Structure 1
Amino acid sequence: MQLLTETSNITFCPSVATIGFFDGVHRGHRYLIEQVREVAAARGLASSVITFPVHPRKVMQADYRPELLTSCEEKVALLAETGIDYCMMLEFTPEVARLSAKQFMHILKERYQVQVLVVGYDHRFGHNRSEGFEDYVRYGQEMGMEVLLAHAYSSGENITVSSSMIRHFLQQGNVSSAAECLSYNFFLEGTVVGGYRVGRKIGFPTANLRVNDPDKIIPADGVYAVYVFLDGVRYGGMLSIGYRPTLANGTDRSIEVNIFHFSADIYNQPMRISFVRYMRPELKFDSVEELIARIRQDETEVKTVLEK
């Protein structure tokens, strides 16, 4: 996949394209992109995804926190896995927000050489969201752009696969259902930072993660079975998200993972955590001894999950 921006010094290839924010690049997105690739192959054209680096609502509302499933860099990496030829990264600005659907489509046609636009079954664009698919078809006919309506994705279950539904699952700690919708385990990427160093004292040293993108959603507080990726190597681990109520050693929400069979110094190193299963909520114990006993139980249960 070739990543293109508005400043890319190239001549854009005629393509079949679809447009959206594609947060998470979930199963529904992948189904839409597969339809784009099929149409492109049938027409002898390149296949393209048009997306934005920043959530459009955040551009228009500075204090809006989108709770992203993926950072821009993560989204691009996931889009590359779909087999699409091009990812066109457009800056969403207040000026773009004021464009009508027809004006925006004209830019796609003339500047970016979009010959066929595949529209998601429930997607609307342009400042006047009252316009719909029939309007897009009419505008396309006027400017020589074919507009097609994508088929809706069906999971075969009574679950609507959407970015908002996946966020809901993560807010509940339901990383298993989130993974079903995403087609991969939800993950966090960041840097290992110093913590309170209490874990080492009680026999369970932890690596504390500072997430790269402050707008990325953090799953609900609790204990999780996870995989940890360091320098391309995967380790099993048990992760805790929360405020350490038994230890009462701070008010900051922490993301800390005990990595199984690992003891190297990894401060300031990049780390990726992939969520496998929610194990239990964060609990306050009456003593440190009770906490240690429960962590030992957690370790046994998490290892059983990861061995399956």
Structure 2
Amino acid sequence: MNSNYVATIGFFDGVHRGHRYLISNVIDTAKREGRQSMVITFDSHPRLVLHKEYRPKLLTTAEEKRRRLEATGIDRCVMLHFDGQMAALSAHDFMRDVLRDSLNVGKLIIGYDNRFGHDRAEGFDDYVRYGRELGIDVVQADAFRLNGVQVSSSVIRSFLSAGEADMAAMCLGYHYTLAGTVTQGYHEGRKLGFPTANIRPSDELKLVPERGVYAVKVRLDSSPIQLDGMMNIGTRPTFDGTETSLEANIFDFDGDIYGHDMEVAFYHRLREERKFASVNKLAEQLRHDREEAMRIFEKVKK
């Protein structure tokens, strides 16, 4: 048994279907060559370390990413601490010191658009040349396309930023989620017959989808049970609000959940946020929103 690893490396934000296609390639190659498979990633976004003022809009937290990477069936998942010292390493030195000497990588399969090393100054041909010198076979994977879309983390962010939760889910292979703590809200929803849970996201770097009303599935305190609901992201213009809030109405639920953890999975954007002429008009629209969300969830069950 050759103990060298077949590995891939990247930030893997979202661990989307393109990432999993690449990782499957790594796993299959490792099995075929009698080696172990490895995925190498980082705990922080490199630009966050290099540019302190930069605020990435992430699809997954470090822990969510680790969990999803481990679920791919990879033999070993390595999450490196990305700091100034690592950022200063050239691609050659990174391949020598980290990939070869520390992690025992014998073959590196990299994504079609992936670059690493100081300032990402070098490209695939350089990695191949360094690999020959260091005893690492470097190969490049194909891009992953789905229904004509070249799947990438940036494309998924664009979909979510446009409110296209369905397209994001198609590319991710799962429904995008936001997690947070339930906090005291404005209590206006309860007066309308639609009590809401106001959520404060637990990670300020995670992307918040475009404003609007969404059909969502809600999970409380890591429960395996998902509850049907809808969420409004916006400033509550009917009530002359100014601050953006995330408020979820869980269907047929009336428990006290202040201070509890909540995870929201986005299924479909029902409509944009808009100002209504009266609270009665808003309540009428919310009833329509709920009916549409329930129709969506009925389709999901079939």
TM-score interval, normalised by the smaller of the two chains: over 0.9
Q: Identify the match of residue 114 of structure 1 among 88, 102, 105.
A: 105
Q: Identify the match of residue 140 of structure 1 among 124, 131, 148.
A: 131
Q: Identify the match of residue 247 of structure 1 among 217, 239, 242.
A: 239
Residue identity in the other structure for 1:87: C
How far did 1:130 drift? 4.1
Cα-to-partner distance string for 1:156-207 (whole Å, 9 max, x where unaligned): x321211111111111000000011101111111111111111112211011
Residue identity in the other structure for 2:152: S
How far did 1:14 drift? 3.3
How far did 1:132 drift? 2.0
Q: Identify the match of residue 87 of structure 2 among 75, 97, 105.
A: 97
How far did 1:128 drift? 5.2
Match for residue 275 of structure 2? Answer: 284
1:73 aligns with 2:75: no
Match for residue 126 of structure 1? Answer: 117
Match for residue 177 of structure 2? Answer: 187
- TM-score normalised by L of structure 2: 0.94
Q: Secondary structure of 2:7's match?
A: strand
User: 8 Å contact 2:30–2:37 — kept in the other structure?
Assistant: yes
Where does 1:1-308 land on structure 2 (aligned, <5 Å)? Answer: 14-107=4-97, 108-127=99-118, 129-155=120-146, 157-230=147-220, 231-248=223-240, 250-308=241-299
Cα-to-partner distance string for 1:227-280 (whole Å, 9 max, x where unaligned): 1112221111011000001012x4221111110111111111111111111110
1 CA distance for matches of 2:236 and 2:123? Answer: 50
User: 8 Å contact 2:6–2:29 — kept in the other structure?
Assistant: yes
Residue identity in the other structure for 1:124: R
How far did 1:30 drift? 0.5
The alignment's C-alpha RMSD in Å is 1.2
2 CA distance for matches of 1:15 and 1:90? Answer: 16
1 CA distance for matches of 2:121 and 2:195? Answer: 55
Greater share of residues in helix: 2
Q: Once structures 1 and 2 are overlaid, which stretch shifts more, 206-215 or 123-132?
A: 123-132
Residue identity in the other structure for 2:186: Y
Instruction: Count how many residue pairs are aligned between Structure 1 and Structure 2.
Output: 294
User: 8 Å contact 2:143–2:150 — kept in the other structure?
Assistant: no
1 CA distance for matches of 2:234 and 2:41? Answer: 33
Q: Secondary structure of 1:233's match?
A: coil
2 CA distance for matches of 1:128 and 1:137? Answer: 18
Q: Secondary structure of 1:219's match?
A: coil
How far did 1:307 drift? 0.9
Q: Secondary structure of 1:16's match?
A: strand
User: 8 Å contact 2:169–2:176 — kept in the other structure?
Assistant: yes
**Do the aligned partners of residues 80 and 264 (structure 1) sit closer, same or farther apart at CA in structure 2, a change above 3 Å counting?**
same
User: 8 Å contact 1:101–1:128 — kept in the other structure?
Assistant: no
2 CA distance for matches of 1:14 and 1:180? Answer: 35
Residue identity in the other structure for 1:285: F
2 CA distance for matches of 1:188 and 1:287? Answer: 30
How many percent identity over aligned positions? Answer: 51
Structure 2: which 5+ residue stretches go unaligned? none
Q: Once structures 1 and 2 are overlaid, which stretch shifts more, 62-71 or 127-136?
A: 127-136
